[in-house]
Amino acid sequence: MNDLSLHIIDIIQNSLSAGATLIKLTVNEDIIGDLLTIEIEDNGKGMTVQQVMSLEDPFFTSRTTRRVGMGIPLFKQSAAQSSGDLVVLSEPGVGTKVTATFKYSHIDRPPLGDLANSFILMVSANPKKEFFLRYLYNGSEYCFDTVEVKEILDGLPLYDPSVIRTLTTMVDANIKEIKDEN
């Protein structure tokens, strides 16, 4: 994985496989506190305590097409090499929350990558699911909610390339503005 936004896609894919219909992504770039936090919360089927415990084992996977599961171990490795950590909280029937933290200034912290592109790709590829993005930079925040956006688009398909481009530009512009102001 070259950047953290790819890990985000990977974890969102897990949420989708778990049958989630609502996925909340929070990215908090706290330069002052020297901390980067990425949180992905879903309302999927959740996991038992035992399943959560075996997550860090690369040879644990619920998938049947292959016998290894590297998603969480790789994400955890990225966090750990940046003096951070990865915590998974889950409850069967309720959902799962994955929180990864990174020391912002750590030389081994992977770059965040193209967050707007990664997020909007997930939104457009799964038009029936709801996504919520909360992006924070030194305390200022921007929120994107597919419920609102779909209401405005009023039936226009989210998978249309021009819609994808427009939404990506919109999210990107907001992220850049918050960054420039702070």
Q: Which residues bind other proteins (CB under 8 A)?
A: 1, 6, 9-10, 13, 16-17, 63-66, 69-71, 74, 117-118, 121-122, 124-126, 148-149, 152-157, 159-167, 169-170, 173-174, 177
Report the distance separating Cα 14 and Cα 122, nearest Å.
12
| Own/partner long-range contacts of 85-91 (Cβ < 8 Å, ≥24 apart) | 88/47, 88/52, 88/55, 89/52, 90/46, 90/47, 90/48, 90/51, 90/52, 91/46
CB of 49 to other proteins, least distance (A): 24
| Pick 58 or 106: Cβ nearer other proteins | 58
CB of 41 to other proteins, least distance (A): 19
| Pick 82 or 126: Cβ nearer other proteins | 126
| Pick 39 or 114: Cβ nearer other proteins | 114
Angle (nearest 5°) at CA 5 between 4 and 8: 95
Do 88 and 41 meet the contact criterion of CB atoms below 8 Å apart? no
Report the distance separating Cα 98 and Cα 46, nearest Å.
11
| Pick 57 or 177: Cβ nearer other proteins | 177
Give the helix/strand (H/E) hosting 24. Answer: strand 22-30
CB of 77 to other proteins, least distance (A): 12
Give burial (CB, 10 Å; 0-12/13-18/19+) of 67: exposed
CB of 158 to other proteins, least distance (A): 9
CB of 137 to other proteins, least distance (A): 16
| Pick 73 or 103: Cβ nearer other proteins | 73
